[in-house]
Amino acid sequence: RKEVEQDPGPFNVPEGATVAFNCTYSNSASQSFFWYRQDCRKEPKLLMSVYSSGNEDGRFTAQLNRASQYISLLIRDSKLSDSATYLCVVILTSYDKVIFGPGTSLSVIP
């Protein structure tokens, strides 16, 4: 089993839709979690951290479920500019290890 898994998609959604991605991780010692966004032919950039209590940043909501070992990203009221690949990142602080998921591709269509 891969350490971090994501549904590669692509997710094709109309503007204004709500879309959710999940990311599962295998190591229960994982301690920190993030979502990065990567536009086509561009570098990844931090979108948001994921906190145990869940956190929201505008239209984006990130949640962590430690019991089931997954994190999620919810995007409300999708915009065309949200089209990108979303990378989940898991940190094993004790091992100084940063693990990127393979990414989920989102296309928001007019």
* Of the candidates 26, 33, 87, the residue with the CA atom closest to the CA atom of residue 64: 33
The answer to whether the CB of 18 falls within 8 A of the CB of 74 is: yes
Cβ closest to other proteins, residue 65 vs residue 93: 93
Residues lying near other proteins in the complex (CB under 8 A) are found at 4, 8, 31-32, 34, 42-46, 87, 91-93, 96-98, 100-103
Q: Which is nearer to other proteins, 72 or 100 (CB)?
A: 100
Omega of the bond leading into 110 within 30 degrees of 0 (cis): no
**What is the nearest approach in angstroms of other proteins to the Cβ of residue 40?**
12
